[in-house]
Structure formats: structure tokens, C-alpha cells
Amino acid sequence: MKKKNTAVIGAGWFGKAHIRNFYNLSNLVGVCDENKVKLKEVTDIYSETNPYTNVDDLIKNESIDAVSIVTPPKEIPKLARKFADKGIDVLMEKPMALNLEDLSFFKKYDNVRIMPGFIELYNPVFENLLQKLPEIGEIISIASKRIGLYPKRDWDMGVILDLSIHDIYLQERIMGKNKIKNSFGVKKCFKDSKHADAAFIILDFGTAIGQIESNWLTPSKSRILYVNGELGGISADFITQQINIRTGIDLQGEWPITKDVTFNPLRQDEPLKREIVNFLYDKESIVTLDDGIRALDIALKIVNS
């Protein structure tokens, strides 16, 4: 398979992860960041990759097939348009934008792949969870718990757009697209009066209920999803990659008996690597621009409620 010519915009902590993967999976011709210190850190490692502090210069000087934009969300749409206008495929890191108006414009590109960076869809533990869903029958409820430390950056957004949005698209993928009938949440601000630092969200799927608990203040890290069905329940830990399935054996009588099966998938591919391969080389992407717009729409309704 011929390697594509690529570029990465943004050399921050997550941008460096993109750069590493694009370097290994493609012909990474350029990296762009206004911060010259961050840029030098990258080009000291990948010396054959050309550094740029200006996106226009990058587009002018390099032949690029695809680009990943890993910048603050408010900057992503205007940068993405520069590449899409040139027929270059674009991977836009979540949440892609801070308002829907900035994303609707991209629907006009029918010959360019515009893909949101929904990394948890590529997590092997989620793939295995989807395969096990038939074992628990009709889904009754889903519960997500996503806890992380307060980010060391200023992206002018709260925990819902930063963390909760992951579980919005995961739960929707479990239940099916366009199945969310209603959504609302309770949120609390601690660091300032504008952005939520903790949120509890309810998603009404009609036949099932989803709940999402997120905060970035508790000094620990948790990424767990529970799916409960009429025949049993599944829990998936996105950090340890562990899956637990609990089903009933004998539920009659005074002492009901259940069976627990716990396993770790042997396949431990890096989710970001799988996402980038899908973006660059697969015929069909498993997540689309419409998926990104829909997830952002739900998240923003909760933010603004």
C-alpha cells in the first residue's frame, strides 16, 4: 500500500501522539505549530519532517493528501477549511468546534473525507463490548463514568465538551444512530462561573436510559462503561481493557445465582493508531462528519441548558 503524504497541525501533548503515529503510518512531510519551542522538540526527533509556523506556507510548499488538526477547538474549523478547499482529507480532533455553525459548512465537501477524532470508538475494549452485547438481551440502561484531572490548557470549554462527549458518542453507537429522543444534565462550576467542571447527564433512548457522570476535579482517572440488559450486564474498563459479563444461572428461589466472566482482550492495538489507519487507508471510515455534528449538537444542548 502506497503511503500517503500527511501533515499534523498542533505539536502539543496530544499533537505529539498524532505526529508519532502519522510518522510511522505515512509519509509525514510537515508539522505546523506557532510555538517554536514545541516545534523544535518535534523536529529534533523527526528531522526529515519539515517544520512550519504558518499553515498557508505548509499548504503552499508541500504536497499533502491528508492532515490531522490537533489544536484548540475554536481554531479547528478555520484551519480545516484551508485544507478541505484544496481537496485534502481532514481529521478534526474532538470536539471539532465550539458551535455547530462552524461545522455545517463542511457538508458541502463531497469529495473530501472529513472525520472527527472519536478515539474511543477504536478502543479494542469497546469493539469487544459490542460483540458481547447479544449475550445480555435487550438493553435497559447504560452508565458511563469518566473522571480525569483538570487539563493543563485553556480551551474555553468545560468538562462536557472535553470528557462527556466521548460517552455521548459511545452510548449512541451502542443504541444506534439518531436514537436519542431527549437529553439533559445537571452541571456544576467550581473553577469559574462559566464552564462546568462536573456533570451528570441523562440520555433518553426511548427503549433505554443512558447516564453519564463526568468530572475533572477528582484526583484520579476512571473510564468505565456499564451496559445492563434483560439477561445480564457488561462492564468495560477503557484503561485496563478488562471486560466483565454477568448473567443469571438460576434466578428462582431464595438465593439467586449469577455467573461472572472476566477477560482482557489479547489485541492491544493503540486506539489512536487504529483511528489514523481508518482515516488514511480504509475505504469506509467508521465515524463520519454527521456523527461528529450530532454528538456536538447533543453536548451543546446540555451545556446551554
pLDDT at 194 over 70: yes
Domains along the chain? Answer: 5-117 (3.40.50.720), 121-271+298-303 (3.30.360.10)
Reading the block at residue 217, the C-alpha cell is 476535579
pLDDT at 265 over 80: no
What average pLDDT does this structure show over 202-224? 95
- DSSP per-residue string spanning 150-187: PPSS--S--HIIIIIHHHHHHHHHHH-TT---EEEEEE
Question: What local confidence, expressed as pLDDT, does residue 243 receive?
Answer: 95
Question: Three-class SS of residue 227?
Answer: strand
- pLDDT over 90 for what percent of the chain? 84
**What is the tens place of the pLDDT at every residue in 129-174?**
999 999 999 999 999 999 988 877 778 899 999 999 999 999 999 9
Question: What local confidence, expressed as pLDDT, does residue 169 receive?
Answer: 97
Radius of gyration of the CA atoms of the chain, in A: 21
Q: In the sheet that 114-117 helps form, which strands lie side by side, from edge to edge?
A: 50-52, 27-32, 5-9, 66-69, 89-93, 114-117
Q: Cα–Cα distance between 251 and 231 in angstroms, integer?
A: 11
**What is the tens place of the pLDDT at every residue in 225-238?**
999 999 999 999 99
**What is the tens place of the pLDDT at every residue in 11-68?**
999 999 999 999 999 999 999 999 999 999 999 999 999 999 999 999 999 999 999 9
Task: Grade residue 267 by pLDDT with cuts at 50, 70 and 90.
Answer: low
What average pLDDT does this structure show over 273-302? 96
